[in-house]
């Protein structure tokens, strides 16, 4: 059974300024000083979020996500500059604080997905025009698209729901300029191509993902947030894809959604109280996140083994930033 005493449920640190407690990450903005522009401390907790709420905590999840994002930030820095300044702790990114652009750059390589905004859902309803793209007739569930497409949504800053957009609509609405859009689209497609190619070399298929970008104080576009983590991306296991595709079943993937499915089968997850999640299911989900890290990077996951709790360790590592 997982040792839940070593879980990072939250990273509320009163000595740090300007908190923003997100669904999964706890963030603090450090104001600009004489030597640095504005910076943001982004701490990944172990919270598992779905249905716009927190279901439970999964041991090591925050460390896995931080280290996976690190792997991909390093592997893509030649394509696109990113927000990272340093990694003061296994669960923490110190980044440049950016003005996040109000567009989520979703990119998809396959006809897949289950939500109302997924292209498979729209396609099965008979739609062929979506997000400003025209898809050919005759595509089957989970088939590779002729080429990856960007299916942007607006970034709802008030907890509202993402809405499907087109490039023209985004520019017309003034969310970003045409020149910014062109740069975002170029970065998005290049990052995704690199992700797909590297995943493929590890026996994985990067199916779709989401990027967030922001502007630095010079107006330069940088990649923000996280990249190619299991929380922002869908991966399939390449070995097994063909057979599943032929059979019309869902390709094998990192099965990290068992808790989500278990909860949805037992209550109205948007309104009812969340039932207590079995400890074995939490342990299994932790195992899946670690497996994802190891499959994607080809290196062993090294869980932090310092004697203190993760929160005490993070506090110690962030003490230099206390006001």
Q: Residues 7, 8, 27, 289: which binds ligand ATP (CB under 6 A)? A: 27
Q: Residues 2, 90, 214, 251: which binds ligand ATP (CB under 6 A)? A: 214
Distances (CA, A) of 67 to 87, 220, 231, 250: 9, 25, 13, 28
List the interface residues with ligand ATP, window 42-71 (CB under 6 A): 42
Under rule CB under 6 A, residue 24 binds ligand ATP: yes
Under rule CB under 6 A, residue 224 binds ligand ATP: yes
Site string for ligand ATP, 272-311 (x = CB under 6 A): ----------------------------------------
Residue 306 CB, shortest distance to ligand ATP, in Å, is 24
Query: Which pairs with CB-CB distance under 8 Å and at least 24 residues apart come from 31-34?
Result: 32/217
Nearest partner of 317 among 61, 86, 68, judged by Cα: 86
Q: Residues 94, 225, 232, 245: which binds ligand ATP (CB under 6 A)? A: 225
List Cβ neighbours of 315 (8 Å cut-off, separation of 6 or more).
13
* C-beta nearest to ligand ATP: residue: 22
Under rule CB under 6 A, residue 215 binds ligand ATP: no
Length of the chain: 323
Under rule CB under 6 A, residue 210 binds ligand ATP: no
Stretch that binds ligand ATP, among 21-29, 52-60, 175-183, 268-276 (CB under 6 A): 21-29
Q: What is the CA radius of gyration of the chain?
A: 20
* Burial letters 285-295, b for 16+ CB under 10 A, else e: bbbbbbbbbee
Pairing of strands 204-215, 133-134: unpaired
Under rule CB under 6 A, residue 98 binds ligand ATP: yes
Nearest partner of 26 among 9, 39, 38, judged by Cα: 9
Residue 217 in contact with residue 37, Cβ under 8 Å?
yes
Residue 23 CB, shortest distance to ligand ATP, in Å, is 4
Alpha carbon distance, N-terminus to C-terminus of the chain: 39
Residue 202 CB, shortest distance to ligand ATP, in Å, is 26
Q: Residues 15, 18, 22, 306: which binds ligand ATP (CB under 6 A)? A: 22
Using the minimum distance from each CB to ligand ATP, give the nearer residue, 157 or 247: 157
Under rule CB under 6 A, residue 212 binds ligand ATP: yes
Q: Residues 79, 100, 175, 283: which binds ligand ATP (CB under 6 A)? A: 100
Using the minimum distance from each CB to ligand ATP, give the nearer residue, 14 or 159: 159
Per-residue H/E/C for 140-177: CCCCEEEEEEECCEECCCCCCCCCECCHHHHHHCCCCC
Stretch that binds ligand ATP, among 92-100, 121-129, 198-206, 247-255 (CB under 6 A): 92-100
Under rule CB under 6 A, residue 25 binds ligand ATP: yes
- DSSP letter for 234, please: E
Under rule CB under 6 A, residue 83 binds ligand ATP: yes
Which parts of the chain fold into alpha helices (H)? 61-76, 119-124, 167-172, 178-201, 241-247, 258-266, 279-297, 310-318
Under rule CB under 6 A, residue 184 binds ligand ATP: no
Nearest partner of 150 among 210, 97, 99, 100, judged by Cα: 210
Under rule CB under 6 A, residue 39 binds ligand ATP: no
Under rule CB under 6 A, residue 230 binds ligand ATP: no
Contact residues for ligand ATP, defined by CB under 6 A: 22-25, 27, 40, 42, 83, 95-98, 100, 212, 214, 224-225
């Amino acid at each position: 059974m997982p040792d839940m005493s070593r879980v990072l449920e939250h990273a509320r640190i009163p000595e740090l300024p300007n908190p923003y407690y997100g669904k999964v990450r706890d963030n603090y903005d450090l104001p600009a000083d004489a030597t640095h522009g504005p910076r943001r401390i982004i701490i990944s907790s172990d919270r598992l979020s779905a249905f716009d709420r927190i279901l439970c905590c999964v041991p090591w999840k925050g460390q896995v996500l931080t280290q996976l994002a690190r792997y991909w930030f390093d592997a893509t820095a030649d394509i696109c500059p990113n927000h990272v300044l340093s990694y003061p702790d296994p669960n923490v990114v110190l980044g440049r604080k950016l003005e996040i652009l109000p567009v989520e750059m979703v990119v998809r390589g396959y006809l897949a997905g289950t939500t109302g905004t997924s292209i498979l859902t729209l396609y099965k309803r008979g739609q062929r025009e979506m997000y400003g793209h025209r898809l050919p007739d005759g595509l089957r569930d989970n088939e590779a698209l002729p080429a990856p497409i960007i299916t942007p949504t607006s970034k709802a800053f008030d907890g509202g729901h993402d809405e499907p957009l087109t490039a023209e609509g985004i520019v017309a609405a003034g969310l970003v300029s045409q020149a910014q859009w062109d740069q975002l689209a170029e970065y998005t497609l290049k990052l995704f191509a690199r992700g797909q190619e590297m995943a493929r070399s590890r026996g994985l298929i990067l199916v779709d993902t989401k990027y967030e970008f922001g502007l630095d104080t010079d107006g330069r576009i940088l990649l923000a947030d996280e990249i190619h983590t299991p929380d922002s991306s869908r991966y399939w296991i390449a070995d097994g894809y063909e057979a599943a595709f032929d059979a019309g079943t869902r390709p094998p993937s990192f099965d990290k959604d068992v808790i989500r499915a278990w909860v949805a089968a037992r209550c109205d997850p948007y309104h009812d109280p969340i039932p207590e999640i079995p400890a074995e299911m939490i342990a299994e989900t932790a195992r899946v996140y670690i497996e994802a890290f190891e499959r994607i990077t080809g290196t062993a996951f090294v869980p932090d083994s310092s004697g203190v709790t993760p929160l005490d360790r993070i506090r110690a590592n962030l003490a230099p930033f206390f006001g």
